[in-house]
Amino acid sequence: EKAAGNQRGREPVNDFELASRLAQFFWSSIPDDDLLDLAEAGKLRESRVLSAQIDRMLNDQRSARFCDNFPGQWLQLERLITAVPDRKTYPYFYYAGYRSSMHMMSEPLLLFETVFVEDRSIMDLIDPDYTWESDMLRANYAGHSRAGGDVQVQVFRRVPLKDPRRGGVITNAAVMTMTSTPTRTQPITRGAWVNTVIFT
């Protein structure tokens, strides 16, 4: 199918292109011999074969790279790096000159990895009854900066959640921060993020 004019519309990929895309997506690498052999035989796009290969790739140790790359891109967490909450309004975001943004970023990344590794329901990404937190992150949620200890070497722990307002990839501190202005929340920006990232 081609678009009007000289612009090219969507076109199906061939087996070798599919092999490359699968390897890049799941492994951040090049196709292995199994993928290339199936591509050369013209069988990779067959539903049964493709499903089996995806299962094989997800069970390969190289799929750990998927958890390293995909969730951060999907959730647009790079926006958190440039977030600069007002120091007077949100003093607990800063601790001894140390920004808590990296601790915030780790929470949804660890949640995604938990769902992926433990093969949990995809609904855990939206409304889990657990999360991951460090002392510094717990202090942020409490509204103060008394993190305790060395903030650069804090350990994240899996903890149960009782507050329905917290948890998941929509209402965690990272998303709340990166979709706000330096001084206040921004519901329209947050709604646009939810529509683009979650529902698109």
Position 162, amino acid: K
Look at residue 145 in the predicted model and tell me its pLDDT: 56
Residue 1 confidence class, pLDDT cut points 50, 70, 90: very low
| pLDDT > 50? residue 101 | yes
User: Rounded CA gap, 57 and 11, in Å?
Assistant: 25
Query: pLDDT > 90: what percent of the chain?
Result: 66
Look at residue 154 in the predicted model and tell me its pLDDT: 72
Look at residue 152 in the predicted model and tell me its pLDDT: 54
pTM of the model: 0.80
Work out the mean pLDDT of the chain and round it to a whole number. Answer: 88
| pLDDT > 60? residue 146 | no
